[in-house]
Amino acid sequence: MFVFSRSYRGPVKAIIVDMAGTIIDYGSCAPAGVFKELFYKYGIEITYEQSREPMGMQKRDHIHKILEMKAVSDKWEQKYGRMWTEEDVDRMYEDFIPMQISSLPRYNTMIGGVKESLEIARLQGIKIGATTGYNTEMTNIVADAIKEQMFRLDSIICASDVPKGRPAPWMILRTMQELNTFPPEAVVNFGDTIPDIESALNAGVWSVGVAKTGNMIGLNENEISNLSKDDLDVLLQKAYNSMYSAGAHYVIDGVYDCMNVIDGISKRLSLGEKP
């Protein structure tokens, strides 16, 4: 039997970014609010924390996860006199789609500094792809908004393009295929949710958590600016700890800080290190 090992010592070839809370929609507010409204429509009151907990997943899976929460499933049984079913999930997802689509235009502003940092990466020959838990119609709305802000993504893959969304690795692997980029060591994934981190680890790429601008804190830029430094530090520390505990190789405040991470990963790659 022959055993050998090899190590990739080349550059970072691709960055893959999540959308809401990572490059657009500071605070990932568009989906969180709609999930809360959706459950209210069905007579179930949920908290923003409950609406955000499964964030990053494909949206039907997200609804499913909320319904699996004991506090929510108990409310459903009290309301309807029975446990929820897969047919209920399907019905809620069908209702969710137009609600989310109508809300998206209000939340599609790119997060400050993100475009400039990604353009620096592109000048270094790094390709830039995006993944999202949105379906095709939602993704097209966001993609058009990003183009209007004069930024070009080399690939966009959504949950509808693959057999299973996050935490499965398929969106990342499909993006790598579209970008013709390999090995996994040469790819860095940025995302603001735990499923983002898990999908990156499952794909064998570098995982970078985004703590400040996305779902982990869940506040928009104005709300963040109104926090005291001490209060913000507490929220950031909790977000950093959660993302590192989930396995992130790095955690940063926002993608506007991405080049420091890319430089650090490049040095580690030169030494033959792997994710």
Q: Dihedral, CA atoms, 37, 198, 193, 186, nearest 10 degrees?
A: -130
Give the closest residue to 161 by CA, choosing from 197, 142, 128, 136. Answer: 136
The catalytic position among 13, 59, 127, 212 is 59
Helices (H), the chain: 29-41, 48-52, 59-68, 70-80, 86-103, 114-123, 136-148, 170-179, 194-203, 221-225, 229-245, 258-270
Written as six digits, the tokens of 28 are 């990932």
Looking only at the bridges linking them, the beta strands covering 206-210 and 250-252 are parallel
Q: How far apart are CA 7 and CA 98, in angstroms?
A: 47
User: Residue 17: which H helix or E strand, with range?
Assistant: strand 14-18
Question: Is 18 labeled as catalytic in the residue annotation?
Answer: yes
Contact (CB, 8 A) for 247 and 207 = yes
Q: How far apart are CA 104 and CA 98, in angstroms?
A: 10
Question: Is 147 labeled as catalytic in the residue annotation?
Answer: no
Contacts of residue 259, defined as CB under 8 A and 6 or more positions apart, other chains included, come to 117, 120, 121
Question: What's the DSSP call for residue 133?
Answer: S
Backbone angles phi, psi at 24, to 5 degrees: -135, 170
The catalytic position among 13, 18, 61, 212 is 18
User: Which residue is it, tokens 């568009």?
Assistant: 30
Mind telling me the catalytic residues? 18, 59
